[in-house]
């Protein structure tokens, strides 16, 4: 900075003012400084700036894996939204649920240059991790369980599962089976609970849920089982990938979708409309989740005095060709 100042024949402070776009600088001087910055290839040192200001203009995102569609889309939305506010996003991966890993993330976290963090995290792991979150660091949780301890942005999983189930019931199906996600997933548990509740509200006793692990493979496995049962006519899978595996199993078993069995997924993958048949599913609004998460987090960062709140982002049923009215039942 001093080099630029000398080159332009001004003081360092004036350079600082130009580089921060402050008002009280003579246009001629400003131009001279800008030219000098160009000439000398000056880049402000963000470490010094952060040190001086106590702010980093960076937020951290803690997540287990990038390999799921939902996490990726959420991250994408967060990054986009953060960039709009001129914040950078730093990724803090946590590989596994071991205590080692969590404290590893902690040591990185505690040293990281962050103004706040967004956590996309299965609930049960948060219990271990929360002890180690640096105090005073603003936090927003996405799709996770918590008391009033944090601000949470939450997709309306329950309503999505209800819509899926009622869609199938509305088509005349007498029972809806469910391929759930892993029991360790908060989202999966809520989808399963809502499915169960919705059936009961319609006077139907739900069968046992089959638990998968979100993978197509697990959907396929359960599909091999369900597909052999003549009484199964409607299946709600807790995500699109399991629905895909499920449909593959049904194809192999010669069961027609939707002729024999209707299938609903959850997520609305980019590809879902090109599955065979195109998949009826529940669309999540990841962009909105990311948007709200950043909005709330930055509010906390700037004002220090934000109440914790819970934001619910709605889901929407997308009807395609994998669902059809139930065949008339034998009287």
Partner DNA sequence: CAGCACCATGTTGACGTGAACATCGGCTCG
Partner DNA sequence: CGAGCCGATGTTCACGTCAACATGGTGCTG
Residue whose CB is less far from DNA, 7 or 283? 7
Q: Is 134 in the site for DNA (CB under 7 A)?
A: no
12 near DNA, judged by CB under 7 A = yes
Find the shortest distance in angstroms from Cβ 51 to its own copies: 4
Residue the block writes with tokens 């989808």: 191
Q: Please state the three-class secondary structure of the chain as a single string.
A: CHHHHHHHCCCHHHHHHHHCCCCCCCHHHHHHHHHHHHHHCCCCCHHHHHHHHCCCCEEEEEECCCCCHHHHHHHHHHHHHHHHCCCEEEEEECCCCCHHHHHHHHHHHHHCCCCEEEEECCHHHHHHHHHHCCCCCCEEEECCCCCCCCEEEEECHHHHHHHHHHHHHHCCCCCCEEEECCCCCHHHHHHHHHHHHHHHHCCCCCCCCEECCCCHHHHHHHHHHHCCCCCCCEEEECCHHHHHHHHHHHHHCCCCCCCCCEEECCECCCCHHHCCCCCEEEEECHHHHHHHHHHHHHHHHHHCCCCCCEEEECEEEECCCCCCCCCCCCC
Of positions 13, 31, 98, 110, contacts its own copies by CB under 8 A? 110
Selected from 9, 134, 170, 325, the binder of DNA by CB under 7 A is 9
What is the sign of the dihedral through the CA atoms of 239, 241, 246 and 250?
positive
33-52: which residues touch DNA (CB under 7 A)? 44-45, 48-49, 51-52
Q: State the nearest-atom distance from the C-beta of 263 to its own copies, in Å.
A: 13
Site stretch for its own copies (CB under 8 A), options 2-10, 72-80, 122-130, 288-296: 72-80
- Contacting its own copies within 128-187 (CB under 8 A): 134-135
CB of 216 to its own copies, least distance (A): 4
Residue 11 Cβ, how far from DNA at the closest point, in Å?
Answer: 3
Beta bridge partner(s), residue 282:
317
Query: Which one among 210, 247, 298, 317 touches its own copies, defined by CB under 8 A?
Result: 247
- Judged by beta carbon, residue 152 or residue 247, the one nearer its own copies is 247
Q: Which of 6, 7, 25, 251 binds DNA (CB under 7 A)?
A: 25
Q: Which part of the chain contacts its own copies (CB under 8 A), choosing from 23-31, 85-93, 192-200, 260-268?
A: 85-93
What minimum distance in Å lies between the beta carbon of 86 and its own copies?
7
Cβ closest to its own copies, residue 112 vs residue 123: 112
Q: Give the footprint of its own copies on this chain (CB under 8 A).
A: 41, 43-51, 56, 58, 65-67, 72-73, 75-76, 79-80, 83, 86, 88-93, 95, 108, 110-113, 134-135, 215-217, 219-220, 241, 244-245, 247-248, 251, 270-271, 273-276, 278
């Amino acid at each position: 900075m001093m080099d630029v100042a000398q080159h332009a024949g001004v003081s360092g402070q004036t350079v600082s003012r130009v580089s921060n776009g402050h008002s009280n600088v003579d246009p001629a001087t400003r131009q001279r400084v800008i030219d000098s910055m160009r000439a000398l290839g000056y880049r402000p040192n963000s470490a010094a700036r952060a040190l001086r200001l106590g702010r980093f203009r960076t937020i951290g995102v803690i997540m287990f894996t990038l390999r799921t569609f939902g996490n990726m889309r959420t991250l994408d939305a967060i990054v986009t939204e953060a960039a709009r506010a001129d914040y950078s996003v730093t990724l803090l991966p946590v590989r596994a649920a071991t205590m080692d890993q969590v404290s590893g993330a902690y040591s990185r976290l505690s040293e990281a240059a962050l103004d706040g963090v967004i956590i996309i995290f299965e609930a049960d792991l948060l219990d271990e991790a929360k002890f180690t979150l640096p105090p005073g660091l603003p936090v927003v949780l996405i799709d996770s369980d918590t008391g009033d301890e944090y601000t949470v942005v939450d997709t309306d999983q329950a309503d999505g599962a209800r819509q899926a189930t009622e869609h199938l019931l509305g088509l005349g199906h007498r029972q809806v089976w469910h391929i759930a996600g892993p029991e360790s997933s908060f989202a999966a548990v809520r989808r399963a609970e809502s499915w169960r509740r919705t059936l009961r509200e319609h006077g139907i006793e739900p069968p046992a849920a089959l638990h998968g692990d979100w993978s197509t493979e697990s959907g396929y496995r359960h599909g091999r089982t369900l597909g052999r049962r003549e009484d199964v006519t409607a299946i709600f899978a807790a995500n699109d990938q399991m629905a895909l595996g499920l449909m593959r199993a049904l194809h192999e078993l010669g069961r027609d979708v939707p002729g024999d069995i209707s299938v609903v997924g959850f997520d609305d993958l980019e590809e879902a409309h090109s599955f065979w048949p195109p998949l009826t599913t529940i669309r999540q609004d990841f962009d909105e989740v990311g948007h709200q998460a950043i909005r709330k987090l930055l509010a906390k960062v700037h004002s220090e005095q934000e109440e914790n709140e819970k934001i619910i982002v709605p889901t929407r049923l997308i009807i395609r060709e994998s669902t059809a009215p139930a065949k008339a039942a034998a009287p």
